[in-house]
Every structure is written in C-alpha cells, then in structure tokens.
A and B are shown apart, each in its own frame.
Chain A
C-alpha cells in the first residue's frame, strides 16, 4: 500500500444496526485511489452491509463518511452513483430480454437531438467496450441467450467502464470459468493503473490474495485485520475470519487426495444415454448406495439440467433412467419423490417457504405419510424438532418463520426436509455455496452421515472444493458431456480444473 496518499474514500467509526442487532460496530475503512482492496469474512460478518453503506443503499448509520476528504451523506444509491461509486451486486441484475448493447448502456443510451436512440452508435461502442474486456459477442444479440457466466461478465464490464472512480464487486467470480476470471483480473489491474479504486469481496481467498493489494478481514461486525496481501497467507486469513484454528477446516486441496475404491453396493440409479437439446449429450452413469458421486463442471456445463431431469422437473429428449433397476420416466416432481428421489436445488429460495414456520418446511415432504386427511401438527413439530436437534439448526425453535434463520441454517432446513423422508437417492446442487466455513463443515458432516446410512448421494457443484470434500467418485461434465471419471486414484483441484 503506498504510504502518505490521500484516501479517495474514508469511513470512521461506522456503526449500523438492524432492529437492535448491530451489523457493524465502529468500523474504520479507507480506500486509496489505484488500489484493489479485498474484503473477506464469514457470512453475516458485515462486509456487504459496509459496501451497501458506501453504495448509498443503506442511508441510516452513525459515523463519519468522507469522499476525497469531504464529509458526505448519501440519501440514495443515485447520490452514490453521481459521486462516482458503482457496485456489482452478488445476484445477476441484467435485463435478459434486451440486447447486449442495451444492457451495456442501460440508463444512458446515446440519443440524437430528437431523443431517439442511436442504435448503430450504441452497438458500435458497446462492441468496442466489450472487446477491450476480451468479450467477443454480437452487441445486438439478446443477452438472455448467452451463457450465465458471459452475462455476469457483461454486467461487470458495464460497471467497470461506467467511469466510476470507486467500483465495488461483490462475489464477482462465482459464476465465471477460470479463463473468464483471468480476463476479469487483467481488466481490474488495468483499471487500477488508471487510478480506479476497487473493492473486491469474495469467498475465494486465493482470488483475493492473487488480485488485491490490501486485505481487510471482518468478523462479527468488526474489522479484525488489515494487511498487505503479499504479507499474509490463506491460513492466516481463515484464522482471522473465524477466530479459531482454520487449517483443519479447509484444506487447500492443492495436494492430491486419494479417492477410495469404487463401491460394489447395489446400484440405486442408472442413467443411460441422457440427452437434452443443447445442454446434455449422451450422459451415462450409475449412483450406488452408500456412495457420494460428485459431478463437477463450470457454470453452464449442464449440471443444472441434469439435476432437474433426475427430479422430474425437466424431460430429457432421449435416454433412460432406472431406479433400483426399474425403468422410470418421471412425469412430475411428485412421481420422482414417490420413486425415492430427492433434490436440493442450488437456490434455497426455490425450495423453502420463507413465510412459513420451520416445522412446516420440514414436514411438507412427509405430510402424506403422517396424515391421510387431517393434519397432525403435534407430530409434525415432534419430527421437525428431532431434525432440528440432530442437524443443530439455530435457533432450535420449530415455530419460528424460516425467513428469520440465517442462510446456513436455512440450507440445513432444506436438508432436514428430505432426511425425514428419507429418499433412496439424494441429489444436492451446490450444497455449500455462499456458506461460511462453520456451516460448510456442518453440511459436509451431515452428508457423510447420510452416506454411512446407505443413501446414494449425488453432489453437483461448480466449486472444486465442494466436490473434493464430499465425493467418493467424481465425474467431470463439460459442455453437457461426461469427459472424465476419477475413481480409485489421486485427484486434486488442479486435476479437476484441467479436466474441465
């Protein structure tokens, strides 16, 4: 970090609370021009809250807020934007039905004197901007037709080239493939040379260490460390994040990990020559009882479609499924559930009822078994209570609305819902995405318990760590086809990435 430079942004003693709960306690934060500043911390540590204060989303807080040495108070995100602050939020926020060029110029399309949009100019300039970023697409194509990773890259490009002096990126790499990450990093470094200040939030600590100049660590609403990236290590950062020895919880997986000998227990699911339009080509595999099958691939490799087919939400164009040796064609998710298949999709919002209490979320999958006509709420609560205690869901109150729980605990409820069933085959999509280290570890242990009980489990993930920490056997999916199977052999993050 260059010394003696005037910070472009300075926050002093920031405290922010939500309904009596302090999300930030007396945080100081300074950002220098031409600096890439990494932020790490577990979920709920206060990173996003601080960034939302900077971006003018949260306007009520106490403490001093200075831009270029001048005290400022934003009343809205529009004020922050006018002051040269732009943010890319974690969730994709693009207009899929508009063209690429319209998305790039969203809100400030070039117009002529009559106020009409200058389409040709817009397309040309959008194309130039994107090619500076290494993206080669037709600016007039519909954005929604592009792969998700590319859409995210275009959104980031839009913000990076908006002329903002301060750019905040919240988990920008989660949907990107390694080459796309490289392109993003190269662009960030170029912007840094032009004097733009960049804040980079990520769960991927390697990414933070690679690209940032300074790292700040948050824990429980406080800033617990700020250090030059070159002077720290992943282990030290994890330790600062969770406040206890972190090495054991998350190994780097850069070393080889030995996969066990393939199980010879009974085949629960047999998938043969599955194909779906542009998403899947001739996918065949087996899942066995008491085994975790990992399926790894980049975003858009066909994982999502595959999981939906297994649970009867999508119909394949060709190919067959067999559960316990009996051929099945799932006409609906209800049919898949009856056959003993359960799915936890990557989005918790898609499978949980946020306005309903925890026990109703858990009992929904077994309601037809405990009651034929009339509900038995006492029994539902009892079953839910058992799961809540077993999975250590906090707070352990089954009557609480689900929306009151943290993300990690919601994910456990999503698992609890199927554990009471229990299925023969459990399909988990991104079971640990966006979770803090502690909750991740809990989920890993739950999955291992289930394997020990003889369930067949399929874990689909775009994060190599997730697959490596859970799977006994790993398939690599690339552009909808199985390109490699790892079994009874050493495997590492590098080998996985290489195969994908």
Chain B
C-alpha cells in the first residue's frame, strides 16, 4: 500500500509544496500541537519528560483509546455515537454482575464462570449496539438522537444492576488485562495498542474499511454504486458498542470497582481524541493514525497540566479551549481540502 500511494503524492508535490501541505493540514496540525504541548511541558516541569511518565500517559489514555477505535469508524461514516460511555459503563457493570462478589457487597447478582460472564457482557454491548444500528438504519432515527436515547437506556440498565452499590470483583482474565502487567508493560496498554492496530488494518487494508471511507465521503454516491449502505452503517454502530464494552470491562478492572456513572468523562474524551486527531466530522477523512495522535494530545495535556502546578479548576477550561481550537482546525482543514480539489 505504501508504495502504491507514492504516485499521487508525487503528482501533488510536482504542483508545489504549498498545496500539498494545505491538503495535508488535517494530519499535520494535530501533530504540531502534540510536539508543541510536549515541548512546553518538558520545559515547564522536569518530571514530565521521563520514561516513567511516558508509561503513565500511555496507561491513562488506554481506556479512551480502546473506546476511540470504534468511534473512529462511526465518525468516518459521518455519524456519531453518544452512547459509548454509557455502554462502557453497563458492560463493565455486567461483567461484575455475573461474577461472585465478596459477601459484604449487597447486590443480588448472578455469579457465573469467568468465561460465561465475559461472553454475556460482550453479548450485551453488541446487542445494545445492534439496537443503535437498527434505530439508525431501519427506523431512520439520526444517530445523534438514537445514541442519546441509548445513553439513557445503558445508564438505566447499569442502575438496575448495581442499585447504587459498588461491585469489585471481575473475572480473573479481565483483572489481568485491566490491571496486570507483563515485563513492566501494563496489559491494558498492550490491549489498546492491539485494538488500535487492528482498527487501522481493517480501515486501510480491507474491503469493509474502504466501504467505510466511501460511505463517509459521499453517502449518496455509495448508494448509487450499489453498496449496502445500511449494512455498513449498522456494522460501525455495533463495532463502536463492542469496543466501548471492552473498554468498559478493562476500565472496571483498572479502577478496581464497578459503579454507576464511572465512565461519564470518557464520552467527551473519546470524541475529543478522534476529532483533535483530525478525523473529519463530515466523514470520509482521517483514520486510526489520527486518533492515536489525538489520544496523545489529550494524554499529554491532561498529564502535563498535573505536572505544572496549575489551578485544577482552570484545567477544565484549558481542555475546553484546546478542544475548540481543534474543532476550528478540523472544519478549516475540510474547507482547504475542498478548495484544493476545485
């Protein structure tokens, strides 16, 4: 693939570097942001640019990363999934619900074998994703509204399962993957890396991945090409839900507890990671590579602000401003590209 892509790139370069850079702004801008932020925090705090802290950052972005894999598919199709955090939460709670808890945990749960608990939890998140998919494609509810409803439904199931209590135990496989490490590398980082890589391979090298880009690039044209657009849209909603579910299960093991509203911040973080990375909100442009850069921008920002002794209330504002800037670049990059294509 890499070699086959050089031809158009060379063709574009022949017309001058400036148009080429303009058309690549979507990819360049987030990368520059990352370098700038890293440089800034490295200068501002001696404890930031260390191997230990890099490990911290990787661990901190892992759950977001796992969720963001599926969300990247959805946003590439020019849809949105607001139920990711809700589904992550309910899946994490479900896997704990089917695990034997300590006697002091007062939840009327159903303990099962570890494998069965994991299987049921995955089936649950896939089923919720399927409901999103059917609502979007068969009934025709816009994904923004459909997944807003699903966010509530997932929160409702979570509430019914734990009834205000906190569960702690999850199957040992999940415990290992969520909080264990191998050779000093946390398993959760490895899982996130594998899922990101897998997402990238699917998007870049498979027929399904091409269809995702085509549907996102011009849905009407995809339909007039005889693609099964509804099937593709439905699939990405299910993929998103399953990625969220996996993130939720490992997250529960990572935090050491399963409770209501545990993942609320992950909704904005995941969307921010995908969009800050440069994947177009209008669909068809971007990918997992962009999401990885976006994850690092967010991770460095969150982590770095802890190192530089800043008012913790101001941090929230700063994050908001950075997100706004990324959105401006995102929309602007789309316009530049359209101009370059004219």
Contact = CB atoms under 8 A, between A and B. Distances in A.
B205 interface: yes
A381 B207 contact: no
Contact of B225 (A351, A372, A375, A399): A351
A177 B221 CA distance: 29
Nearest to B4: A377
B218 interface: yes
Contacts of B8: 357, 397, 399-401
B224 to A, nearest CB: 4
Contacts of B342: 403
Contacts of A313: 223-224
A397 B11 contact: yes
Interface residues of A, number: 41
Interface stretch (B96-104, B141-149, B226-234): B226-234
B207 A356 contact: no
A412 interface: no
B217 A353 contact: yes
A336 B11 CA distance: 37
Contacts of B231: 334
A219 interface: no
Contacts of B284: 353, 355
A272 B222 CA distance: 29
Interface stretch (A5-13, A106-114, A132-140, A362-370): A362-370
A277 interface: no
Given A337-B226, A365-B226, A377-B4, A352 B207 contact: no
Nearest to B223: A333
Nearest to A363: B210
A403 B284 CA distance: 15
A422 interface: no
Interface in B185-218: 205-207, 209-211, 213-214, 217-218
Interface string A380-407: 0100000000000000010111011000
Contacts of A350: 220-221, 224
B307 interface: no
B279 to A, nearest CB: 14
Nearest to A338: B226
Residue among B211, B221, B230, B337 with the highest chain A CB neighbour number at 10 A = B221
A270 interface: no
Nearest to B220: A350
B152 to A, nearest CB: 31
B310 interface: no
A252 interface: no
A287 to B, nearest CB: 19
A371 B224 contact: no
B308 to A, nearest CB: 40
B227 A364 contact: yes
A364 B337 contact: no
Interface string B1-21: 100100110010000000100
A334 B227 contact: yes
B169 interface: no
A354 B206 CA distance: 21
A89 to B, nearest CB: 16
Contacts of B222: 364
B160 interface: no
Contacts of A337: 225-226
Residue among A19, A350, A364 with the highest chain B CB neighbour number at 10 A = A364
A364 B209 CA distance: 12
Residue among A337, A343, A355, A360 with the highest chain B CB neighbour number at 10 A = A355
B341 interface: yes
Interface residues of B, number: 33
Given A313-B223, A345-B224, A367-B207, A355 B4 contact: no
Contact of A343 (B210, B224, B285): B224
A82 interface: no
A333 B11 contact: no
Interface string A403-419: 11000000000000100
A297 to B, nearest CB: 22
A375 B228 contact: no
Interface string B258-300: 0000000000000000000000000011000000000000000
Given A360-B210, A368-B207, A378-B4, A355 B225 contact: no
Contacts of A338: 226
B186 to A, nearest CB: 32
B67 to A, nearest CB: 25
Contact of B341 (A355, A365, A397): A355
A232 interface: no
Contacts of B230: 332
Residue among B8, B224, B231, B337 with the highest chain A CB neighbour number at 10 A = B224
Contacts of B227: 333-334, 364
Given A334-B228, A381-B4, A351 B221 contact: yes
Nearest to A336: B226
Contacts of B205: 374-375
Residue among B209, B211, B227, B284 with the highest chain A CB neighbour number at 10 A = B227
A373 interface: yes
Contacts of A349: 218, 221
A377 B338 CA distance: 25
B335 to A, nearest CB: 13
Nearest to A350: B220
Contacts of B338: 355
Contacts of B1: 377
A479 B225 CA distance: 29
A367 to B, nearest CB: 5
Given A354-B218, A355-B284, A372 B223 contact: no
Contacts of B285: 355
B207 A372 contact: yes
Contact of B214 (A345, A356, A374, A397): A356
Given A333-B227, A334-B226, A367-B211, 7 more contacts: A311-B224, A353-B214, A353-B284, A357-B8, A367-B207, A368-B207, A373-B206
In the A-B complex, the 5 residue pairs with the smallest Cβ-Cβ separation, listed nearest first, are A337-B226, A403-B341, A399-B8, A351-B224, A334-B228
10 contacts: A332-B230, A334-B226, A337-B225, A350-B221, A351-B221, A356-B217, A360-B210, A375-B205, A377-B4, A417-B225
Interface of A: 19, 311, 313, 332-334, 336-338, 342-343, 345, 349-357, 360, 364-365, 367-368, 371-375, 377-378, 381, 397, 399-401, 403-404, 417
